[in-house]
Amino acid sequence: MWCYRPIIWTNSSKYRIILNIFENKGSRGMKSFSRAKKYAKYIFMVIIINIVIGCFYSIPMVYYGPFKNIREMLVTTAMSTMTHKYIATLFLSDEEINKILNKNKVNDNGESHSSDIKVTATAAKVTDPREGIESIKIDNGNLHGNMLIIKDSKRIKLGVSKDIGKFGEKLDDMCNRYGAIAGINAGGFVDDNGQGNGGTPTGIVVKNGEMVFKDPHIADEPINTIGFNSDGILVLGKYKYSQIDGKLEENKIHDAISFSPFLILNGEPTITRGNGGGGINPRTVVGQRKDGAVIFLVIDGRQSFSLGATLKEVQNIMLEYGAYNAANLDGGSSTTMYYDGKIMNNPCSSDGIRFITTAFLVE
């Protein structure tokens, strides 16, 4: 009689397992199978216990041992999340956490110089909307994502959810509604405990030269403003509401949202030491070259094939592709890129594509 006899040996002869599974499924074969299941459960439990014990000892080693870089990465990653700050606060004091965060701050207090950008392309009507758009796959070691380079910056428009202030909208639906060939998520939104519906923006939203939303919880203080003026030039700066509202026409601000930090200002990186804070996460970035071409970048994260990127890592990618100005946009589970009828990246949200408030679109 044919039989399958896989043998699994453990270090102790006491727990040597010999599986005998007979084709006729007789009583002897069934008993062997039952015994094998019992020992398999035992081995599984031993593995789990070892993992738990390993974590129990390794976490204090990370926080209190000599692994400074790992500790800083873990703290900056944890403190950038909405719901997992406890990973840092359980083990370190507020003073220790702030010391690490301050060490990894971004120096983005300047603003972009519009006169440095020379837009060479014109917004002529294209017969094929894919014309003038270059799609690039990013596979840089452990970083995986997508990039779009749009030669004509005047094709960039801001999309807003149709029920802004109430409900958000998925990026692909927003692109279809606006008739856009491409888009990336843009500004942040109220997201209490990661349960936000993408309806209420944070900061400002300027659409077609009009202030369509202003966060009532922020006083008239400088906030990071990311947008495009009527000449198709990416504008980065810290402005008060009073500097923007009522002066949109004067400043030529056509579309704008709020988020931070700026990554590149006038050709200079803003992160020169540390990782920039924020740890490793999915990222969305917008930038512009000196010739006016606009760069969209998304990096996948919180997944087995791609953990994410630090702010400094995406800064370096943008520099590599010639960005003269660049800014970080809302990332995490919001990170999404759409192009030519499909989602290009792998959003990490458990619900799939998230509902968002705003997006930079290519029409």
Spell out the domain ranges in the chain: 3-103, 114-362
Q: Which residues of 178-217 are buried (b: 16+ CB within 10 A; e: fewer)?
A: bebbbbbbbbbbebeeeebbbbbbbbbbbbeeebebebee
246: tokens are 């009522």
pLDDT in tens, the chain (363 residues): 444 444 444 444 444 444 444 444 455 555 565 666 666 667 767 677 666 655 554 556 555 555 567 777 777 777 776 667 877 787 788 888 888 887 787 888 889 999 999 998 666 677 899 999 999 999 988 899 999 999 999 999 999 999 998 999 999 999 999 999 999 999 999 887 666 688 899 999 999 999 999 988 887 788 999 999 999 999 999 988 888 776 677 678 899 999 999 999 999 999 988 888 888 999 999 999 999 999 999 999 998 888 999 999 999 999 999 999 999 999 999 999 999 999 999 999 877 899 999 999 999
Q: In sequence order, what are the residues at sequence separation of 6 or more whose Cβ sits closer than 8 angstroms to the Cβ of residue 362? A: 129, 133, 148, 150, 155, 156, 157, 180, 181, 182, 183
Q: What is the pLDDT of residues 79-122, one digit of tens each?
A: 776 667 877 787 788 888 888 887 787 888 889 999 999 998 66
In this structure, the dihedral spanned by the alpha carbons of residues 268, 103, 309 and 137, taken in order and rounded to 10 degrees, is: 10
How many whole angstroms separate alpha carbon 345 and alpha carbon 363?
Answer: 20
According to the model, what pLDDT value does residue 104 have? 81
For 59, other C-beta atoms within 10 Å of its C-beta total: 14
Kindly report whether the peptide bond that precedes residue 216 is cis, defined as omega within 30 degrees of 0: no
Rounded to two decimals, the pTM is 0.77
Q: What is the pLDDT of residues 202-259, one digit of tens each?
A: 999 999 999 999 988 887 788 999 999 999 999 999 988 888 776 677 678 899 999 9
Q: Using N-to-C axis directions, what is the helix angle for 68-79 and 27-64, rounded to 10°?
A: 100
Q: Tell me the H-state helices in 65-142.
A: 68-79, 86-89, 94-103
Separation of CA 347 from chain center = 9
pLDDT at residue 10, rounded to an integer: 45
Per-residue pLDDT at 174? 98
Q: Partners of 156 in the beta sheet?
A: 362
Give the whole-angstrom CA distance, residue 282 versus residue 331.
6
Q: How confident is the model at residue 94, as a pLDDT?
A: 84
* pLDDT number for residue 161: 97
| DSSP one-letter code for 125 | P
